[in-house]
Amino acid sequence: MEAVDDRLVEALCSAASELGFRLEAPYDAVRADGERVRIEGYLPDFGGPGGLAVVSFARRLKLGSLELPMSILTKDYRKYRAKLFISALNDWGWYGPEPRPNWLQAR
């Protein structure tokens, strides 16, 4: 398996720790063709009822289609910045159990 973007994984882990959401990073996902691939992260409570795959912009083409919805993060996400991550998480939408994080905007 190709190596993940360690800096993105580290930033995702910092975001999860600071903001208090669930994250599996790195994560072994399944491509549409059934092959397993390692990706930067999986957010079970965002993006849809089945969660959201998070991958590096630099690796997006090599991964192909995943069975999960996928968000591609640019190099801006390789360093944890609360406002940047909160904005993305709000865009992806909360699908987790209550209580939802207090920083999350109501939809």
**Lookup: tokens for 102:** 């207090």
Is pLDDT larger for residue 89 or for residue 105?
89
| Res 43 pLDDT > 90 | yes
d(Cα 53, Cα 67) in Å, to the nearest integer?
Answer: 9
Domain locations along the chain: 6-92
CB 79 within 8 A of CB 11: yes
User: Is the whole model's pTM more than 0.85, yes or no?
Assistant: yes
Is pLDDT larger for residue 23 or for residue 59?
23
Can you list the pairs that 86-92 forms with residues at least 24 positions away whose Cβ atoms lie under 8 Å?
Answer: 86/19, 89/19, 89/21, 89/43, 89/46, 92/43, 92/46, 92/47, 92/52
- pLDDT score, position 107: 61
* Mean pLDDT value of segment 9-17: 98
Is pLDDT larger for residue 61 or for residue 10?
10
